[in-house]
Structure formats: C-alpha cells, structure tokens
A and B are shown apart, each in its own frame.
Chain A
Amino acid sequence: MSALLSIPFFGSELILVVSFFIAMALDFAFSDKKWVAYFTLAALALAWWFGPPAGASVRLFFGSFVWDPVTHFFKGLIYGTIGLTVIASLAYEQIPGRIRGEFYMLLVALALLLTVMGASVNLLMIFLAIESVSLTSYLLVGFQKFDQRASEAALKYVLFGAVSTALMLFGMSLLFGITGSIELSIIGAHIAKLDAASQTLALIGMLFVLAGIGFKISVVPFHFWAPDVYQGAPTPITAFLTIAPKALGFAVLARVFLTAFPFFMAQWATLFSFLAILTMTIGNVLAVSQHDIKRLLAYSSIAQAGYILVGLAAPSSLGLQAILVYVIAYLFTNLGAFFAVLAIERQLRTNDIGAYNGLAKRNPFLALSLTIFLLSLAGIPPLAGFIGKIFIFASAVKEHAFALAIAIALNSAVAAYYYFKVVKAMYLTPADSAERIENPMPTRIAICITLAGTIAIGIWPTVLIRFAEQALIVFPAF
C-alpha cells in the first residue's frame, strides 16, 4: 500500500507524534508535572480510540509495516503497560520535579516506537525500531543521573546494546547480500532455493540476528546487562522494561524466524530449546541468592523469558498462543509486583528484602497483593501466571518436548523457593519497626488494576485466550 493510502491506518501513531510535542509544550507551561502525566494518559486513550479496526490486515508504506491482528494485540499490551507505568510513576518521588515532564514525554515516544517495532516486517524497519527503542530506554534507565548506580546501569546498557546491535546489523547485511532483499517474506522464499554454501551463510546471518534480538529479550547468554540495569533504573522503568520491550522482542523474534527462516525451523527450534532451558535455569538459580528485591525480580524475569521461549522451541500454533497468553498474564503480574516494590521503596528508600520483614503488619494490603503477584509468578492457581504456565507446559507436552517440560517443572520448584523468601519475610518474620507504610493513591490504583487483572485472568481466562486466538488468525500458520 502506498504512503498516502497508509495514513488512515496510522492514526494512533500520528496522534502520539502530535501528543509528544504537546507534552513538550505542557512541560514548559506547568510547574506541577502531574498534568503532563494526565495528558499522557489521555493521549494514549485517544490514540487507542482512533486506531484502525482490530480485524484489518494490510501492509503499509510499501510493505515496511504490517497492520494485522498481532500488531493490534501488541499495541494493546504496550499502551496498557505504559499507561500503568505512568500512573504508578506519579507516586515515584525519586525523580526530581524539574525532569519529570521529560520522563512522561519519553514514555509517549516509547509507545509509538514499540508499536512500530511490533509492526515492522522488513529488516531495515526492524533495525530502526529496535535501535530507537533501545536509545529511548537508555535515557530512561539513566534518568536519575545524580545516582551513580543509575549512571552505571545506563552505560552498561548502552555498551551491551551497541555491541548486540552491531552483531544484528552484520547478520542483516549477510542476509541482504545473499537474498538481495530486506523483506522478511522474500528472504524466506529465497533461502529455500539457495545452494548449500549460501544456506550456511544465511544460517550464520540468522544467528547474528538472534544475538541482537536475544539482547532485547535477555536470553542467556545475552542477559548479562539485565540485573544491573533492572536494579539501577528507576523502579517504574524497571517494571516497564521487564514487560513491554521484552514482549515486543518476542513478537519480532516470532515474526523474523517464522517468516524469514521457516526453512531452518528444525535447527532454530533445537537451538531455542537449549537456550530456553539455559535461560530459565540460570535465571532461577542466580535469583536464589539475591538480597535486593529488584535484582531478584530481574533474575526472575530472565527466567520468565526462558519459559516464554518454550513457545518457539516447540513451534506450533499452540506455542504462539502460549507466548501471547503468557506475556499478558506476565504483564499484570510483574507490573503489579514492581508497583508494590515501588510503594515500599518510596517510603523506606531501600530494596533490601530485609526491609520487607513484617510487612503484613505494616501494610496488610501491600503484603497481600505482593504475595498474590509472587504466587502468580510461581504459577500457583487460580492466578494469571498459572494460566500462562499451563499454556507453556501444554505447548511443550503437545510437541512431545518432554525434556523442556521437565526443565520447566524443576525450575518452577526453584523459583517458588525464592519467591517465598519474600513471602516469608513479609508474613513470617517480625517487623523491625511498627511504622505504617503508606500506599499513595497512584500506586494503589495501579496495584488494584494489576491485581484485578491477575485474579480475573486466573479465574476467567476465556477472554484472554480468545484475544490470543484472534491475534493469530492471519499470522504465518503451521
């Protein structure tokens, strides 16, 4: 579809571009930056409202983007994550007022860039989208520039990001050199017709691309940046980073590998199986010894990436469904957990698990909700995490990938151990101080929404599963 005809399908994105500039103006106009936050929320709602219909499936801008149900699904995920992050950030006072406006502005920009990332179907757009998402993320990670840890995290993120982008770019150039195209579907069609030597080269190109995307989804061995970055970043940004860029990373991974490399499916499925087992095991084992809750959740989120990867390691339509169901369940659960952490960090200025001792007395609601989020992460029914996990299990068992299934089972027990370390601190260990921990309105709202989502998905998963099914209607099927 030509550029002019594509415009109507790009309504949301245009609104976000305009909103970005309006937010910039509002930042100058208001000294109380909460108005910028409210505007951001309104802009997201407006952009969602004026988006194209869910069922459409068209290629935009000469085949650079595709607007299909998958894009729509991920757009919902992105807007939801960013909206909730903005709400919770209102209570996060560690970011000084004068730069808060920019903070919200950058989140609006990310909503746009991430959507583009989910819609890209050629190598150039994928590269640009990933790169611009990364750049914006670097800024947000280092936002507390007066904090040494934040600066270190941002620098680490930049360095790792730069290397992996370079690798990915190199891989893309190989693919372009061999197949003469940057469009995923054409590359896919070409590879099958190549001679053996070129196919090997294409395989190498594929591995380099994987390195780039693997960095985004923090799959072992591209995970080294994650704990430091997640610990050093402002907590709302950590919450956001563990969900949206990661979920979109999986979207790109699925698009690239299913459209461009179906020819190598046997090879990459095996590779993903190994990576999945490695990722979940290393993430969980390293999480056990953590004392800082943000680091603990960081390693847990590495492990979760391992579970999600199972959906591609046992490639099938059920596997893709599992990925979608899992990321949504994970969205509510993990965001909720981080929001609870945020509320506590806000008052106690620490993320040490020792500070959680006796939380059940100091704020019963926070303790109960954090417990529910952790139980959901551990996959205990009837909560959202359980529904995600059962889909992941099912996709492995259905393809007779029993090694994967057993790895998930053993990992779940390890994971339960460290999640319960936090639960133990909150309920079993007495508090050092009786001072009540406040839960201000913004985090309370954000936690209530995520809590409702976590429980509702667990008890009534039908709606979510239907969304996932509808999203995959026109996706490359098996």
Chain B
Amino acid sequence: MGLLSWLVFTPIVGMIVIMLIGRDQHKLIRNLATFTTACELLLVIAVLAKFDLSQTGMQFAERALWIPQLGVYYHLGLDGISLIMLVTTGLLSFLACVASFGIRERVKEYFALYLLLETGMIGTFVSLDLFLFYIFWEVVLVPMYFLIGIWGGPRKEYAAIKFFLYTLAGSMFMLIGILALYFASTPHTFNMLALGQNQFALHFQQMVFLALFLGFAIKVPIWPFHTWLPDAHVEAPTPISVILAAILLKMGTYGFFRISYPILPQAARWFGPAMGILAVIGIIYGGFVAFAQTDFKKMVAYSSVSHMGFVLLGLAVFTLTGFQGALLQMFTHGLITGALFLLVGVLYDRAHIRDLNSFGGLWVKLPVYGGILIFCSLASLGLPGLAGFVSEFMVLLGSFPVYRWMTAAACVGILLAAAYLLYMIQRVLLGSLNPKWAHLKDISAREIFTLVPLMILILLVGVYPKIVLQYIAPTLEALVKSVGGTLA
C-alpha cells in the first residue's frame, strides 16, 4: 500500500475503532479522533517532503484494476494542484478536530462521521479515475448531511437537506458528463490522464463541460447556485463550517483544474468569458450581501462567495498568473476563512449570539481575541504582507491583460471586503462595551492553538509566497500549455 492509500484509509480505520468504543468514553473518542487526524497531517507532511518539485506529472501513483468490466481502476496520484489541496485538508481537518472538543452531544457519532468526511475529502483530491473521484465526491455528502443536521443550529434540518439535495442534483449531472466522456473515448476509460489525450469535438466538449459545470458550480458555489451556502454555513457547528469553507468549496474549483480544463480545453476556453462574468457577479454580489448582514457567520459565509469569485476569475482568464492566483487563492481562502469561522465560533460559544449589532467594545474585555480577529480580517480584506493580498493580486494581474473591465469590476469586490470587514470590526471590537458582555472570558489556550498555525501560514505566504508557488508552478505551467493559454 502506498502513501496515498494510507492517507485515504487511515481515517476509515479511525472511524471503525471509534465505532467499537462505548458511547460514554467521550475523552477517549476525542483523543482517538485527534490522533487520527494528527496522523493524517504527519502523512501529508511526509508527502510534502518527498514531493519532487521538478516533476510536472503525477507522483506517488498507485493503480490497481478494480472493476474490469467497466475499466475502473483504483488509481491515485498527486501533482502540485492536488498537493496544495491535500495540505489544506490535512491541516484544517486536524485543527477543526481540535476545535470540535466543544461538542458534547452524541460524541461518538460526531467523530465517526467526521473521520468518514475526511476520507471522502482526501480521496477526492487524489483520485485519478473519474469513477473513483465520483465515489469520494459523493461520500463527502452523507457525513456532511448528518454533521449539519444533528449538531447544527435552529434550522439545521432545512440547511442539511438543502445542502444535500443541491449537491446531489449537481453531481447527478456530473455523473452524466462522466459517462458521456467514458463512452466517447476510445478505448472506453475513466482515466483522467488518458481522457486528456483524447481530442473531442467542440460541440461534445461543450455539452460535457456544462454537465460537469453544474456539479462543480453548485459546490463552489458560483452565483447563482450559491443559495445553499449561507444556510449550511450558518446552521453548521463551527468546526464543520470551517471544513465547509476551507475544503468542500475547493472541491468544486479543484474539479475545474483537474477534470474540466485538461479534458475539455476548447470548451473551457469557449466558456471562459461566461465564467469570468459569473465570477465578477459573484465577487460583487457576495461583497454587497456580506456588507448587509447582521449575523456574523452569515457575513463570513457571503464573503466566501465573494472570495471564491476570485478563484473563478483566475480560472477564466487562461494565463499562468491567473491560474497560479486562483490556486493560491484556494489555499489562502481556506486558511483565512477557516480562521474567521473559528473566531466566529469562539465568540458564539461565549455569547451564544452572533448578531453583530449587539456587540461592541469587546476589545477591552478580549484583547487577545481582538488582536487575532483584526489580523485575520486584514488578511481577508487583502492587506499587503498577508496571504490574501498575494493571491487576489495575482488573479487581478493575470486577468487584467485579458478582461480589463472585469478586472476593474473585481477590484470593487476588494473595496467591499475592506468595507464589510472593517465595519464588522467596528461593531464587534470598538465602541462602548455592552454591559451584557462584561463577563466574557478571553480566548482559551486550546482555541489559540487552533488559530496560531493558520496565522503563521497566512503571514508566511504573505511575505514569501514562493513557499507555496514553487509546488504549484510546474504543474500549472503544464496545464496552461495544454489548454492553450498564455504563459504570462
């Protein structure tokens, strides 16, 4: 068994062990789950250390025949794009697991489902066979439904089923697209790499691209498919919001990088302008709606819609800088928004309320929390020197030569981000202290522990982005060449 198989199946082993433990052993279950996610993180680091920077192809490949009649292979592999998502998944899953210690009800079920979710996510990012990819993609849905539906907020049931049905409907169309690709290729194959070698007719490419687009767009979510996101985010428990924002949304854009673009390059270019327009609408719309929110969590959720718009814009322009910016944005948005959701959770755990207007002057009572919140907000609004700036700047730099007006419009989104985040800081931290909150305690050591790694990375990537770019540049160069974009 190779390293990647270990990565995929370690959480399942953890899940099975947890299911065998008595349901009252809360502490043991929690520690076991944390241990499993820590092992995953170590495995990810091992992959990172062994990763060969000079190579553009798939590394750590594993391939075994699974269903011979359909030509389905158990086929795993890793390139720069998968690697960066793997790092995000490994890190955030571990941190969100530590952040899950606040879960008090049905602990056993929670952590079992949580580990199943991790298997699904990791599997999605390392599958090279479309059939396998689809299975992992769907495996993510079920635990997510329960995690939102059981441990969520007041409207959890509605949010959970909405999330589930939206994504399922999208993925059904994705499945049609996958099967169409299978039957159009000679010989019939689900192998993503082999499918990339086929030259499909433009019309066929467009149809399949649309089918896949539905699946991916709902996941990202691209405007106007985003309506499940605020519900799911608001109702989900904090750690699950973190996972949702930092990893699940990226599965959609990852799908473009891994499947739509390499296999359907002409159609991708054909749809480029339309995707650019949707991206800009998402950026501006998400920004305005975030600005209008009074619920802290909903504001961060809509800011996700806006920030994911940058990823899509970078994807739409077919330049190397744009692609690099998009992929880097997937990473940095995971770090920053993950941190912001954790911070929302910290406050909610203490105040049991998220209404921005009812806070005020908290910085006096919670100085450490205030400092971290400001740091992460500044990162999110794109302050130079922090990670968010680098990725969004690269996207804009890459898109400017291609779509000037769209780039200009996207800049409004950055302005809006500054507006809603600073307005949030003003309402939460500044002003006079609401006496109701005089008893609030500052952020605890465990909570700081979940945030510090993210902050370090945010700063590191902001100051020296090459530590990430060096991993993704060779892969993206090859991708740009194969889709016929410009190497600028």
Contact = CB atoms under 8 A, between A and B. Distances in A.
Interface string A445-478: 0000000000000000110011001000000000
Contact of B164 (A416, A427, A465, A466): A416
Interface in B177-199: 179-180, 182-183
B176 A424 contact: no
B67 interface: yes
B145 interface: yes
Contact of B69 (A397, A410, A465): A465
A420 interface: yes
A402 B176 contact: yes
B130 to A, nearest CB: 11
Contact of B165 (A360, A380, A406, A413): A413
Given A398-B183, A406-B176, A462 B68 contact: yes
Given A380-B142, A397-B179, A413-B169, A428 B135 contact: no
Contacts of B67: 461-462, 465
A381 interface: yes
Interface string B11-33: 00000000000000000000000
Nearest to A393: B179
B146 A380 contact: no
Contact of B180 (A381, A397, A417): A397
A177 to B, nearest CB: 43
A404 to B, nearest CB: 10
**Among A390, A393, A406, which residue has the most Cβ atoms of chain B within 10 A?**
A390
Nearest to B174: A409
Nearest to B169: A413
Contacts of A360: 109
A46 interface: no
Interface in A365-418: 375, 378, 380-382, 386, 390, 393-394, 397-398, 402, 405-406, 408-410, 412-413, 416-417
B382 to A, nearest CB: 38
A380 B183 contact: no
B175 A393 contact: yes
A406 B214 CA distance: 12
B176 A405 contact: yes
Interface string B139-163: 1011001100110000011001100
A427 B69 contact: no
Nearest to A378: B168
Contacts, number: 78
A381 B138 contact: yes
Interface residues of B, number: 32
Contacts of B183: 394, 397-398
A394 B156 CA distance: 35
Contacts of A402: 176
B150 A427 contact: yes
A409 B161 contact: no
Contact of B141 (A380, A397, A408, A417): A380
B69 A428 contact: no
B134 interface: yes
B172 A413 contact: yes
Contacts of A408: 172
Contacts of B68: 462
- Category for how many chain A residues contact B: 20 to 34
A412 B142 CA distance: 15
B348 interface: no
Nearest to A413: B169
B437 interface: no
Contacts of B157: 424, 428
A428 B164 CA distance: 15
B65 to A, nearest CB: 9
B165 A409 contact: no
Nearest to B207: A402
A432 B149 CA distance: 19
B169 A381 contact: no
B375 interface: no
A188 to B, nearest CB: 29
B173 interface: yes
Contacts of B149: 424, 427-428
B179 A380 contact: no
B165 A466 contact: no
Given A398-B183, A428-B150, A420 B161 contact: yes
Contact of A420 (B109, B145, B176): B145
A416 B142 contact: no
Given A413-B169, A413-B172, A428-B156, A380 B138 contact: yes
Given A393-B176, A416-B164, A466-B69, A410 B139 contact: no
B169 A410 contact: yes
Contacts of B173: 406, 409
Contacts of B169: 409-410, 412-413
Contacts of B156: 428
A424 B161 contact: yes
A403 B175 CA distance: 14
Contacts of B141: 380
B134 A381 contact: yes
A466 B179 CA distance: 20
Contact of A413 (B70, B146, B168, B179): B168
A413 B174 CA distance: 13
B139 A390 contact: no
Interface string A338-352: 000000000000000
**Among A380, A381, A412, which residue has the most Cβ atoms of chain B within 10 A?**
A381
A342 to B, nearest CB: 25
A244 B249 CA distance: 43
Interface string B37-76: 0000000000000000000000000000011111000000
**Among B139, B145, B156, which residue has the most Cβ atoms of chain A within 10 A?**
B145
Contact of B175 (A398, A409, A427): A409
A461 B71 CA distance: 12
A294 B67 CA distance: 35
A202 B318 CA distance: 60
B176 A469 contact: no
B138 A416 contact: no
Nearest to A465: B69
Contacts of A382: 135, 139
B260 to A, nearest CB: 18
A285 B188 CA distance: 35
A390 B139 CA distance: 15
A381 B139 contact: yes
Contact of B179 (A378, A394, A412, A423): A394
A465 B66 CA distance: 12
Nearest to A415: B168
A422 to B, nearest CB: 12
Contacts of A381: 134-135, 138-139
Contacts of A466: 69
Contacts of B142: 375, 380
Contacts of A413: 165, 168-169, 172
Contacts of A462: 66-69
Contacts of A393: 175-176, 179
A394 B70 CA distance: 10
B215 to A, nearest CB: 10
Given A380-B142, A382-B135, A397 B176 contact: yes
A375 B141 CA distance: 11
B379 to A, nearest CB: 36
Contacts of A416: 164-165, 168
B175 A390 contact: yes
A402 B204 CA distance: 13
Contacts of A412: 168-169, 172
Given A412-B172, A462-B68, 8 more contacts: A382-B139, A406-B176, A409-B172, A416-B165, A428-B156, A462-B66, A465-B69, A466-B69
6 shortest interchain CB distances as A-B pairs: A409-B172, A413-B169, A381-B135, A397-B179, A465-B69, A405-B176
13 contacts: A381-B139, A382-B139, A393-B175, A398-B179, A398-B183, A409-B172, A410-B169, A413-B172, A417-B161, A428-B149, A428-B157, A462-B66, A462-B69
